[in-house]
Amino acid sequence: MQSQQPRIIPIYTSKGDAGAYLIFPYLFNIQGEWIGWVTRDRLVYSVLGYYVGYLSTDPRILRHESAEDKPRMTPPPLPEKIKGPPTVPLAPMMSDLPIGIIDVLQDDQARLHTSDHGELMQDMD
């Protein structure tokens, strides 16, 4: 009996590029490194537990420009690095974003960094 492979869901940018992968609840960058996670109610958090935005149905990671930060969450256990799929389906037709909503993977990627990059950022503070 073969074990079932986890379902890899590509997360797109508004330009239609694959910007991340979701293996619920973990988010990975294109290189397969952990960059965050998604809650059951589709809220997105960084590897350090900071609120990033929300997962839309497109699927994109969006954020209100004026979003207030939510309380910091405890991250789940560190996942292993993944190997992304060799090909990704074309992005669905993306609706235009309303004024005041930004695409995190396209316009604010620094919110979703790897765990080692986050540690370096804390050292710089």
Q: Report yes or no: 82 and 29 within 8 Å, Cβ to Cβ.
A: no
pLDDT in tens, 56-113: 999 999 999 887 778 999 999 999 999 888 888 888 888 899 999 999 999 999 999 9
Kindly give the residue spans of alpha helices, DSSP state H, lying in the chain: 104-107, 115-124
In DSSP terms, which residues pair with 18 in a beta bridge?
12
The reported pLDDT for the residue numbered 2 is 54
In DSSP terms, which residues pair with 38 in a beta bridge?
44
